A = this chain, B = another copy of it.
Amino acid sequence: MSPLKSSVVLLGAGNLATRLGVALYEKKIPVIQVYSRTEESAKKLGERLECEWTTDLGRISPDGTLYIFALKDSALQETLEKLPPLPGLFVHTAGSIPMDLFLPYHDRYGVLYPLQTFSKDREVLFETVPIFWEANNPEDGRVLEELAETLSQRVVPLDSERRRQLHLAAVFACNFTNHLYLQATEIVEKAGLPREYLLPLIRETADKVETLHPRSAQTGPAIRYDRNVIDKQLDLLEGDPGKQELYRLISKLIYSASRESDGAAKRTSLKA
């Protein structure tokens, strides 16, 4: 079945559901219905995708060929329990939930996991977003793969265990990184300076790892554990124990990582 012939029912109207719905819409893959618990969200996304919407699980359309559950992790199981019997292929979009969650509820199921951070009102170039898929039978796997390839240039089959690892990595690379941006921003704002001063640095730090492994890109006082600078910076953070603890821990970890890679380099050169 060509993805263009799929009839998608989209459950969820949050950040990911919205961006995925818009991407499907733009590729002319028919979304026939949107469900959300919140009327406002359901209506808004339904109108955006020019399709039916509902807040009632009892009224989910039985005409879907693909049901995409783009819900909060905590809501997924509960929703499956309440759902009346439906045909088609069920997929969820969560990094950390195994595919087999569907097992007690449905016979054909899988996962579509786009590795990106989504906001409702921020366009995302879906073509560049890696999409990882998994299915409980090869035929549905092909459907998911084709659908994903319609949306993105980077489509990869991936089992639940490795998807979980990828999701964990994403927490470090995105959620935790954003928190460091916040810590940096707080310091700058406390000094009475605009946070915009940091933006070229943030951008270049991200750009650098496109071509350089982050192990080689590491700079700053922590690499050689420069006690002089480190102690002075810890003093500057006095009165903010959270920032101090973070500073101390990451400095320690940077130093360990740089010693490990020095060791690895030495072992390599001994072999050569």
B182 touches A215 (CB 8 A): yes
Name A179's contact: one of B183, B226, B253 (CB within 8 Å).
B253
Interfacial chain B residues near A246, Cβ < 8 Å: 176, 249-250, 253
Name A237's contact: one of B162, B168, B180, B233 (CB within 8 Å).
B168
Stretch at the interface among A22-30, A62-70, A103-111, A116-124: A116-124
Interfacial chain B residues near A192, Cβ < 8 Å: 162
Query: How many whole Å from A200's CB to the nearest CB in chain B?
Result: 5
Stretch at the interface among A45-53, A135-143, A202-210: A202-210
**A interface with B by C-beta (< 8 Å):** 15, 73-74, 96, 115-117, 119, 122, 124, 128-130, 154, 156, 162, 164-166, 168-185, 187-188, 190-193, 195, 197-215, 217-222, 226, 228-229, 232-233, 236-237, 242, 245-247, 249-250, 253-254, 256-257
B256 touches A242 (CB 8 A): yes
Give 29 CB contacts A-B under 8 Å. Answer: A73-B226, A74-B228, A115-B201, A117-B201, A117-B205, A119-B208, A154-B197, A162-B193, A166-B193, A168-B237, A169-B184, A169-B185, A169-B187, A171-B247, A173-B180, A173-B184, A175-B254, A176-B254, A177-B177, A178-B205, A178-B217, A178-B218, A179-B254, A181-B214, A185-B209, A195-B213, A202-B209, A205-B206, A242-B256
Identify the closest chain B residue to A188 (Cβ): B169
Q: A176-B250, A181-B217 are in contact. List 14 more A-B contacts (CB 8 A).
A: A73-B229, A115-B200, A129-B200, A162-B193, A165-B191, A166-B188, A173-B180, A173-B184, A174-B205, A175-B222, A178-B214, A179-B254, A181-B214, A182-B214
- List 8 A-B pairs, minimum CB-CB distance, nearest first: A175-B220, A206-B206, A173-B184, A165-B191, A172-B184, A181-B214, A182-B214, A169-B187
CA distance A211 to B219 in the complex (A): 26
A124 touches B236 (CB 8 A): no
CA distance A247 to B167 in the complex (A): 13
Identify the closest chain B residue to A183 (Cβ): B172
Interfacial chain B residues near A204, Cβ < 8 Å: 116-117, 124, 174
CA distance A110 to B158 in the complex (A): 56
Name A170's contact: one of B124, B184, B211 (CB within 8 Å).
B184
Interfacial chain B residues near A115, Cβ < 8 Å: 197-198, 200-201
Interfacial chain B residues near A181, Cβ < 8 Å: 172-173, 177, 209, 214, 217
A202 touches B177 (CB 8 A): yes
A229 touches B199 (CB 8 A): no
